[in-house]
Amino acid sequence: MITFESVTKRYADGTVAVDSLDLEIPDGQIMVLVGPSGCGKTTSLRMINRLVEPTSGRILVDGQNVLEANASQLRRGIGYVIQQTGLFPHRTIEDNIATVPLLNGVSKRQARERARELMQLVGLDADTMARRYPFQLSGGQQQRVGVARALAADPPVLLMDEPFSAVDPIVRAALQDELIRLQAELRKTVVLVTHDVEEAIKVGDLVAVFRPGGHLAQVATPERLLGAPADDYVRDFVGFDRGIRRLSFFPAAGLALETQTVLPGTTTAGAAIEVARREGEPWVLVISAGREPLGWVAVADLEGRPDSSALSEARLTSVEHTFRPDTDSLRAALDATILSRTERAVAVDERGQVTGTTSYEKLRDAIRGAEDAADRGEPPALARHPAEQVL
């Protein structure tokens, strides 16, 4: 746990970078500090490992006041990743990663062994890259080395200062996914600074929004930030279509599924029409013997056919995208529905077998229900899914 107790940083010229900040960063979570330039987010981060010392107030890491610790010792227990990577140009990749273990007096052989382990962890091939120098790597690879170096001594706390700002959007998305994956495995206490609110919402367990002048505007989960911004400043900062983006945090598991109108291709047109009328559905979904989706059939189309003809002979409308209620969010379900010509989307399980269908009406109810639950303070249950873009 990292605690800021009315921390103020005032520079000699009178500028107040951070003004009486109170903030608690719980263990094992990613806390994102986000805000425009000059809002004091980076200064706040750097006060944790004493690259900047507060003018007043206290910062506690696991109950210990950082100002009372030996600065070098304190820093070896806190990983640090920066935008420009700060890799040592004169050291090989493995020696860069081995830096902190070496400072801690670990033998060179052991430190390098550990470095190679970490290279695998962050997705770098140790055999080909360990002996290279930083300049021989791409920006994205350098940033992975930076993360590996910060993790080398297995510190409980990781500070990241705009770690993904210098790479192109595709690499940035990959690195963000990587961070989420790593965090699921390592459960570090991560403090990440960014000016990009999308990044904050994507990777943060908690987001602290700063306003200019070093004030805290709101601390909340990404879902709360989107669903209940504290004021106009936060609302503007969070930006456009927050209602849609918020759906990423609601699991699709709560969605009611239509199962009656999911029919095998051998069903007769007459039987299908009967089921569809009973359910009040204008479309039925045709599935294979292995329950894979084959396509939609319009009830209106069936009515022009002999009652005894099989469903598989009817004209099929493509299913387009499917979604998985067990892992996807309501946003993915909504997206699949929008993309479908039938205004319906197909839910499948991990084997790709159909479990039901959904429609705008069902989505509307599920969204309303999830929003109400969230507004009552019930946390959404969706585990973060790296593959899903929260944009």
Partner 1 sequence: MVWSWIPQNWTSIWQYTLDNLLLGLLPPIIGLIVSVPVGIACVLWGWLYPPVLSLSSAIYALPSLALFVVLIDYTGLGNLTVIIPLTLFSLCILIPAVVDGLRSVPESVRQAATAMGFTPVRRLVQVELPLAVPVIIAGLRIAVVSSISLASVGQLIGVPSLGYFLIDGFQRDFPTEIYLGIALIIALALICDVILVSVRRLLTPWLRGRQVSAGPIRVLPITAGRM
Residues making contact with partner 1 (CB under 8 A): 49, 51, 72-76, 78, 80, 82-91, 99-100, 103, 133-135, 149, 159
* Cβ closest to partner 1, residue 84 vs residue 260: 84
* Cβ closest to partner 1, residue 96 vs residue 248: 96
CB of 193 to partner 1, least distance (A): 13
CB of 340 to partner 1, least distance (A): 49
* Cβ closest to partner 1, residue 99 vs residue 317: 99
Q: Spell 221-255 as b/e; 16+ CB within 10 A means b.
A: bbbbbbbebeeebbeebbeeeeeebbbbbbbbbbb
Token pair, residue 369, equals: 């229900």
Query: H-type helices in 163-298, by residue range?
Result: 169-186, 197-203, 222-227, 232-238, 242-246, 269-279
In this structure, the number of other CB atoms found within 10 A of the CB of residue 149 comes to 27
CB of 175 to partner 1, least distance (A): 18
DSSP-derived pairing of the beta strands 78-82 and 157-161: parallel
Contact (CB, 8 A) for 356 and 347: yes
CB of 375 to partner 1, least distance (A): 41
Handedness of CA 362, 368, 374, 376 (dihedral sign): negative
Alpha carbon distance 201, 173 (integer Å): 13
* Cβ closest to partner 1, residue 82 vs residue 197: 82
* Cβ closest to partner 1, residue 82 vs residue 286: 82
Contact (CB, 8 A) for 119 and 129: yes
* Cβ closest to partner 1, residue 159 vs residue 382: 159
* Cβ closest to partner 1, residue 159 vs residue 206: 159
The packing angle between helices 139-151 and 108-121, to 10°, is 130
CB of 330 to partner 1, least distance (A): 41
* Cβ closest to partner 1, residue 99 vs residue 342: 99
CB of 103 to partner 1, least distance (A): 6
Token pair, residue 311, equals: 């469903």
Closest among 68, 78, 65, 71 to 4, alpha carbons compared: 65
What phi-psi label fits residue 377: left (phi over 0), alpha (psi between -120 and 50 degrees) or beta? left
CB of 244 to partner 1, least distance (A): 37
Token pair, residue 51, equals: 């690259």
Residue 280 CB partners (closer than 8 Å, separation 6+): none
Contact (CB, 8 A) for 21 and 7: yes
- Indicate the burial class of 133 (C-beta count within 10 angstroms; 0-12, 13-18, 19 or more): middle
CB of 146 to partner 1, least distance (A): 8
